[in-house]
Structure 1
């Protein structure tokens, strides 16, 4: 399997969409970026499998040793994949088949981690088949035999009350496993919460290298949406732009991981205007948009202003409002420290922003295999206080959506309070947080055409 890793660099160079990727981890966002080339399904599968091989070969031993676990057992069923197993299936196996059981065993002494599948079907060569139904018809008995033969100190299963990503073992599967397992091994069964979170949240060098292209695609599609190619002021509704996103992604062969949001803030109007509201000159537009590509997700919120006739820029109060949100981003980025909890980062960033005279709300989250990814939350839009979900440690080599807002009175709108929402994807290397493909520092301008 090592050959997959060594071939990865060649694959990254060989494909134009990756060879022409923007510089990795830059704070400068390109205005109206060009859409990178989208890979074919076969090209995507090749790259996804190579990255999976690298993760299994290099990351799995690291996290098992870090968590002090020598056996990890995962169970999924067809069309009912648990979150971790879904990320371990090769690109040709889109779903678990019947009951898919994966077992990782670290024998110690520097020996490779065993990767076994107790299933009727193979998994692309990533896991060694370890069950012959003709010899042992009972799948769970076969699992028990494998475990007993290796005599692990700790048998981790995915069970967690706090994190949905680590709670994939269903009650029925747990009951079947425990019934088959020798009683002497029952006390060795433990939660694999730490393993699940580390596996999902950690980004490898190869993933970090391709992430800028993925985020650039999202930025390019937002750039199209916030332009006269899509929006005709006085005609186009917010809802029409939402469905344009869906149509555009279908054309590109990409998937959204949530339905895009588009809303309007308008002088004299309360809150966000949505749905069939027609976009007008003088409106401040907001969008929230995310895609899934090469198994990784993006999550972006940008602002645009529809110029009134004769205007060449957004009102100063709106420009200052976005700058305020950029300042909150910087306070939050500076609060990242390895081992610090999400709650601690939230408290520090909020305190510094408030001391600077800002009115912030921070609700940032990890991103990667899931849009709202595994790892500690940093605030919630409806809770700016410590939360159990933010109690976990911030770790290096993790990706984040720096999602937040700041509120400000806009003089040109008669002192109306405006919500300056922003969200950009970033990477924490253990020392600094850098944006993956820049961040919005200037409100996008849409000509009125009048």
Structure 2
């Protein structure tokens, strides 16, 4: 990881599909071996049951499929059981098909045709005190058990085991949000890949002032990713702020000299996600640097980043981190909006939100606590009047991926501290 972001990073070598599968399966096996025992024991759950149906995979099960399993097969049921006394966690799959040796196949349809009865028999044989299944009003990441499947399961359980069912919401969030050292070993390369593509987009290779439109750059991103066999997790954004123009211009607006460009871009690679917002300035003929007022605007946003990352604390809620940071920034005379979110297995990942662009007050989605070994998109903006633009109020959006180890927030591949310059040509 690096605190300094390169201005024109080189694109790292992109792995072949076979190489990617090897990395994904190695890391998945390590996560199952380490994260599952930790979170189940810390949360006091001795059996965790999840299910998915083909093409309707819940988020947790989807993250546990090996690299060659594109979807759950028919109905795939996964069970984790902790026998206690430091013994290894059992990993069972109650389905017709195994999962690359990561789960032990535990159902013979010829002996027991009823899949849910097979589950009930496994539970009865182990007599767990708590049976976690994924249902939640608070988060989609912990709400994977559908009503029809819950009813089918419940019909096969005896009353004593029905009474032991608890929500797997916290287990789901912790599984998805936790980053292990092996993941953090590859994450800088993934973020560097995204940074390199953004640097290419914000260059004369892609942008010709007076000709190229915002939409042209958006679709260039999509074509570039397709050629690299990479996947965006959202359609890239390009916006234009222009002296004398209100708001952010988009779509078929032609990029002109003197424009401040903004991009929001994210990829999924090796089952990890990036989310980046950068700024670029299109030099006017004869200009050699970004106007001082625009440079100062990005510096303001960097300052709010510093305030926010200093307020990360294990056990602190996302709401408290946002409200405290916002108050400190305002006290310094800044005009911030903070909307930071977890990232990792998903782009808008599991864990507490730290503000929303449309809600800078308390939000139930920010009530959860910040934990160690988690990754974040430090996403925010500040507003400032730019003297060179006649005092026009400009939006200085920024977003950089970072890692919180429990003590310190570090950027995974640095952060933008200088607005990218695009030559006038």
TM-score, scaled relative to structure 1: 0.94
Residue in structure 2 matched with residue 373 of structure 1 by the alignment: 349
- 3-state DSSP of counterpart to 2:240: strand
Q: CA RMSD in A?
A: 0.4
1: CA distance between counterparts of 2:125 and 2:404? Answer: 41
Alignment gaps of 5+ in structure 2? none
Once the 2 structures are TM-superposed, how far is the Cα of residue 58 of structure 1 from its aligned partner? 1.0
Residue in structure 2 matched with residue 129 of structure 1 by the alignment: 105
1:188 to 164, 168, 174: 164
| Residues 217-256 of structure 1: pairs in structure 2 closer than 5 A | 217-256=193-232
Once the 2 structures are TM-superposed, how far is the Cα of residue 334 of structure 1 from its aligned partner? 0.4
1: CA distance between counterparts of 2:370 and 2:19? Answer: 33
2:40 to 37, 59, 64: 64
1:408 to 356, 362, 384: 384
1:304 to 280, 285, 307: 280
2: CA distance between counterparts of 1:363 and 1:104? Answer: 35
- 3-state DSSP of counterpart to 1:87: helix
Partner deviation per Cα, 1:340-368 (whole Å, 9 max, x = no partner)? 00001001110110001000000000000
- 3-state DSSP of counterpart to 2:196: helix
1: CA distance between counterparts of 2:160 and 2:265? Answer: 51
- 3-state DSSP of counterpart to 1:288: strand
- 3-state DSSP of counterpart to 2:403: strand
1: CA distance between counterparts of 2:161 and 2:268? Answer: 40
Residue in structure 2 matched with residue 257 of structure 1 by the alignment: 233
Once the 2 structures are TM-superposed, how far is the Cα of residue 94 of structure 1 from its aligned partner? 1.1
Residue in structure 1 matched with residue 4 of structure 2 by the alignment: 28
- 3-state DSSP of counterpart to 1:146: helix
Alignment gaps of 5+ in structure 1? 1-23
1:333 to 304, 309, 324: 309
- Does 2:84 match 1:108? yes
Once the 2 structures are TM-superposed, how far is the Cα of residue 289 of structure 1 from its aligned partner? 0.1
1: CA distance between counterparts of 2:101 and 2:159? Answer: 33
Aligned residues: 425
Residue in structure 2 matched with residue 79 of structure 1 by the alignment: 55
1: CA distance between counterparts of 2:211 and 2:53? Answer: 48
- Does 2:264 match 1:288? yes
Residue in structure 2 matched with residue 18 of structure 1 by the alignment: none
Once the 2 structures are TM-superposed, how far is the Cα of residue 59 of structure 1 from its aligned partner? 1.0
Once the 2 structures are TM-superposed, how far is the Cα of residue 183 of structure 1 from its aligned partner? 1.3
Once the 2 structures are TM-superposed, how far is the Cα of residue 284 of structure 1 from its aligned partner? 0.1
2:133 to 132, 143, 157: 157
Once the 2 structures are TM-superposed, how far is the Cα of residue 157 of structure 1 from its aligned partner? 0.4
1:324 to 285, 300, 320: 300
1: CA distance between counterparts of 2:159 and 2:326? Answer: 51
Residue in structure 2 matched with residue 345 of structure 1 by the alignment: 321
